[in-house]
Structure 1
Amino acid sequence: MRNFIILFGLVLFISGCANVPQYQENSDWSHSEVAHLHFYRTKRMFHALNPEKPFFFVDDKMAGSLGTGETFTVRVLPGTHTLSVREPFMFSPGYESGRFEIEVEASKHYYIRYSMDASGVYAYGSTAGVYGTAKFGTADKESFDNRE
């Protein structure tokens, strides 16, 4: 019975990973008719050794995930788009830690910054730890280039 419960939990976990809708770019879009969203994660060392990476969504469809100092670019049509980030839970998207809307224009580049910063220390009995706060929003090209 115990093995059945473990197997059932594993199947649920794997099927949950497969149900996340993926963002799809249209290969017919020309460079002049799209906006470029450059997602990046800062080089801050807090949380850098965590093997799980946060997941980024464009219009509630997963566009990618980022490790410390990494980037990826998504092309979108002009207009208003909803961007969000979900913190990882067992290598799958977990709770949403940031969301905002952005109005984009064709042929322009937008820089989307994510950082996980230490924000406090907690103690529980004889154990202590550090917890962080995610920050998600727009940035400028210089910050993108320096991963700040």
Structure 2
Amino acid sequence: MSHRMEGVGQLPASYRHNRPLLSGVSDAEARQPGKSPPFSVNWVVGSVDLEIINTTTGRRSCGGPSRLCKHVLSARWARLYGRLSTGTPSPGDTPSMYCEAKLGAHTYQSVKQQLFKAFQKAGLGTWVRKPPEQQQFLLTL
């Protein structure tokens, strides 16, 4: 994929087009999803805890959400944003919904559109959008 994305163009300073040193040849053998285990494991550098996720439900074995789910990651972002911001934020300064936070990241939105156009130009098709409901949840602190 990276070899077909040369048309992305110049990106802002905080973004880069990674080009992994991998062969451009795909394995002809199809993936066998029936052989996949019913769990996924993730860990964080500096933590001794492993998180085991049920791949059917996307939740931990205890039933709670994963530390990698959008809601948990966005809540952590909101807490960090609150610590970094100077002064007292007025209502409307901090987005209350995940989709508002993403739309407010103007550079990200611009680069995303640039990537989508490069996909089209390279004949790779249209980016499949997620249902809007997946991004319409409150950012809780």
TMscore range, shorter length: under 0.3
Of Structure 1 and Structure 2, which has the larger fraction of its residues in helix? 2
After TM superposition, the score normalised by the length of structure 1 is: 0.24
Instruction: Indicate the structure (1 or 2) with the bigger Cα radius of gyration.
Output: 2
Of Structure 1 and Structure 2, which has the larger fraction of its residues in strand? 1
